[in-house]
Structure 1
């Protein structure tokens, strides 16, 4: 079977690009013939790609997507025909606006892979339209959680097969046992309003008063850096909070940490939670509409009402004070992490592909 996995730009460093690359590699290793295509740039993917995967970029220069729409559709259709593609996996719902007309009349199975929460369109009405079209005309829609699957089933006039397949963990379940209390709380993500690090820092004001010997490390980069830095300076938190920036060695930060915290305003899935589970970290997380509750079920980790910074602070403090609870959660986290190992996730993708 010849598969085309199409994304926006696989040169990017985001979670969508990471799991798209992982899927391409795993399906390639399972015997499928894979092409990995980006709509713009994408000629040098950031994440490792197996040598036998063909890498394609529809455009090698920037341009406004709206004005390129006819050309994008033409290029996708030409690629599908030239490469004799059997199945197309679209790694972003918005791109269905290009791929649906591109596949008209072709014997190509069409999968839309949703990476966001159905009830959040990121301020783009086109995404709402694309979701309705995908549900109606794609052969399958893959959501990341059962909760989001239900939203699709209830919120669309669907004909397609809508199924939930979790994202795979990029890290194996860790075997080591932490020998000492490092007194580090870790958060990972882009420094953007969506990730809610401003809320986390507000709660850290209370945490720091109660537990001044603990530190918070935030790994990631983004447009909110100056805003967050100013907050740290104004509130005398520079000694207890570190904005680490981007790193290509995030696993070292997971290994050092005692607790993981997710403060997002919303999530499509919560990839960092899956990563934290693999390292056996107890987690305190806002209960976003999709993602955290499903991922953290049966782990003993703590869910906090959305945007409740006082409860976030008190939950962190409680966990910091209870070594035994952290150890108990750690064991359960590693057990839950097994579900998200690539071999379990890829088998579900193969079942879907073979069902066609």
Structure 2
């Protein structure tokens, strides 16, 4: 079977590009003939790609593909024919607006891979339309969680097979590491309104008052850096909060932390949560849609009602004060992380592909 995995731009270093690359590598290892294509650029993927995978970019200069929709559709259709593709996996639902017309009349199995929360269209009417079209006309829609699958089933006039397959974790469960009582809480993500670091810093004011010897490390970069920095200074948190920016070695921060927290207003899945599980970190997370509840189930980690800043702070303080609880959660976390190992996730993809062939 020859499979085309089509994304926006695999030169980017985002989570979608990472799991798309992992899927390409995993399916290639299983013996599938893989073509990895980007609509814009993508000629030099950021994440490692196995030898034998063909890398293609439809357009080699940055730009807005939507401004040249007919040309994009033509390019995709020509690629499908030229490479004699059997199965097309579209990595972003919006791209279905290109791929549905491109596949008309072709003997191609069409899979839409959703990476966002169904209830959040990111302010784009095109995404709402693309989801409805995907549910009705694609051969399968893959969501990242069971909860999101249910939203698709209830919110679309679907004829396609809608199934939930989680993202794979890039880290295996880590061996036990004796930590030097670092008293560090870790948060990772883009510094944007979606990720809720403003809420986290509000909670940290209360945490810092009760546990002044603990520190908060936030890894990531984004448009909200200036506002977050100003908040830290105004509330005299500079001694206990560090905004470290982007890093090429995020595993270092997982190893050094004692607690992980997620303050997002919403998530499509929550890759950082399954990464934190692999490092055995106890987690405090808002119970936002749609990933945390499923990921943290049976781990002992703490789900806090969405936007409840006071409860978030109290939950962090409780964990900080309970060494034994943190150790118990750590064991359960690494056990849960096994579910998200690439070999298990790829097996689910293989089962889906074979069921559609």
**TM-score, normalised via structure 1 length:** 0.99
Give the count of matched residue pairs.
Answer: 356
* Counterpart Cα distance in 2 of 1:352 and 1:12: 27
2:115 maps to what in 1?
115
* Counterpart Cα distance in 1 of 2:78 and 2:255: 47
* Counterpart Cα distance in 1 of 2:354 and 2:279: 33
**CA shift at 1:64, angstroms?**
2.4
Unaligned runs of 5+ in 1: none
* Counterpart Cα distance in 2 of 1:137 and 1:349: 20
* Counterpart Cα distance in 2 of 1:232 and 1:100: 48
1:329 maps to what in 2?
329
* Counterpart Cα distance in 2 of 1:42 and 1:215: 38
* Counterpart Cα distance in 2 of 1:268 and 1:179: 32
1:145 maps to what in 2?
145
**CA shift at 1:175, angstroms?**
1.0
Pairs within 5 Å for 1:5-84: 5-84=5-84
Unaligned runs of 5+ in 2: none
CA contact (8 A) 2:39 2:65 kept: no
**CA shift at 1:177, angstroms?**
3.1
Q: What are the superposed Cα offsets for residues 194-242 of structure 1, whole Å, 9 maximum, x if unpaired?
A: 0000110111001011000000001111111111111111111111111
CA contact (8 A) 2:9 2:42 kept: yes
1:2 maps to what in 2?
2
* Counterpart Cα distance in 2 of 1:246 and 1:68: 33
Q: Show structure 1 runs of 4+ deviating over 4 A.
A: none
2:307 maps to what in 1?
307
1:105 partnered with 2:105: yes
Partner secondary structure for residue 58 of structure 1: strand
CA RMSD of aligned residues (A): 0.7
**CA shift at 1:301, angstroms?**
0.3
1:171 maps to what in 2?
171
* Counterpart Cα distance in 1 of 2:117 and 2:249: 28
* Counterpart Cα distance in 1 of 2:349 and 2:5: 13
CA contact (8 A) 2:36 2:55 kept: yes
Q: What are the superposed Cα offsets for residues 231-284 of structure 1, whole Å, 9 maximum, x if unpaired?
A: 111111111111111111000100000000000000010110000000000000
Q: What are the superposed Cα offsets for residues 300-347 of structure 1, whole Å, 9 maximum, x if unpaired?
A: 000001111111101000100000000000000011000000010000
* Counterpart Cα distance in 2 of 1:139 and 1:189: 33
* Counterpart Cα distance in 1 of 2:179 and 2:89: 44
* Counterpart Cα distance in 1 of 2:136 and 2:353: 19
Q: What are the superposed Cα offsets for residues 99-121 of structure 1, whole Å, 9 maximum, x if unpaired?
A: 00000000000000000010100
2:268 maps to what in 1?
268
Partner secondary structure for residue 39 of structure 1: strand
* Counterpart Cα distance in 2 of 1:22 and 1:74: 27
**CA shift at 1:67, angstroms?**
1.6
CA contact (8 A) 2:5 2:90 kept: yes
